């Protein structure tokens, strides 16, 4: 577990692995973040899978989950399945903090190459991933439906660890 500056203030934030007990909180943050959110059961299954490495951003004041990242690891490769921050945690560098910590854990787990998908209209996520050394390696046209509007492309990104 690590402690860092929290939401740009003098308080601190805890970063640590998640477990099935965090499934409902993960689902709530996912609902805030995505048009097609995953259920608590989805998160419970992912968080209990041996091939999943997860990290959470925890507010030490009330022990609430403010962000999460989950990666499926198979052999020397990993795929980030989801990254999300609660609305109150966005825009203060917490995504960079959470992703940086997670990359350290994946490196320690001997992951050599990491992949992810991100919607081409998610400018803040694209900026974060590029800043962390991810590069575009593919694109899936019209992959993300938007509920009535035009579908966004999925940009497939990768980086070596």
| Coil, helix or strand at residue 7 | coil
Please report which confidence band the pLDDT of residue 6 belongs to, taking 50, 70 and 90 as the band edges. very low
Question: Rounded mean pLDDT of 105-129?
Answer: 96
Tell me, yes or no, if the pTM score tops 0.95.
no
- Average pLDDT, stretch 59-84? 95
Q: How far apart are CA 117 and CA 102, in angstroms?
A: 16
Query: What pLDDT shows up at residue 103?
Result: 97
Residue-level pLDDT at 146? 64
pLDDT at 47: 97
Strands (E), the chain: 2-5, 12-16, 52-59, 64-74, 77-85, 113-119, 135-144, 152-160
Inter-CA distances, 93 with 10, 33, 58, 77, Å = 14, 17, 14, 26
For range 2-29, the mean pLDDT: 76
Fold classification of 2-114 (topology level):
Aminopeptidase (3.40.630)
Q: Taking the domains of the chain in order of start, what are their residue ranges?
A: 2-114
Q: Read off the pLDDT of residues 129-148 as tens digits, 9 standing for 90 and up.
A: 999 999 999 999 988 876 66
Over the stretch 36-50, which tens digit does the pLDDT of each residue have? 899 999 999 999 999
């Amino acid at each position: 577990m690590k402690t860092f500056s929290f939401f740009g203030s003098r308080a601190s934030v805890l970063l640590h692995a998640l477990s099935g007990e965090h499934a409902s909180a993960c689902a709530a943050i996912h609902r805030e973040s995505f048009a097609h959110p995953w259920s608590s059961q989805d998160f419970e299954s992912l968080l209990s899978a041996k091939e999943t490495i997860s990290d959470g951003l925890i507010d030490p004041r009330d022990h609430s989950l403010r962000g999460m990242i989950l990666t499926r690891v198979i052999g020397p490769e990993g795929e980030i399945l989801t990254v999300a921050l609660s609305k109150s945690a966005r825009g203060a560098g917490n995504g960079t903090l959470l992703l940086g910590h997670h990359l350290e854990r994946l490196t320690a787990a001997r992951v050599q190459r990491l992949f992810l998908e991100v919607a081409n209209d998610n400018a803040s996520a694209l900026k974060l991933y590029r800043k962390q050394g991810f590069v575009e390696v593919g694109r899936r046209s019209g992959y993300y439906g938007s509920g009535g509007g035009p579908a966004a492309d999925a940009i497939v990104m990768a980086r070596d660890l």
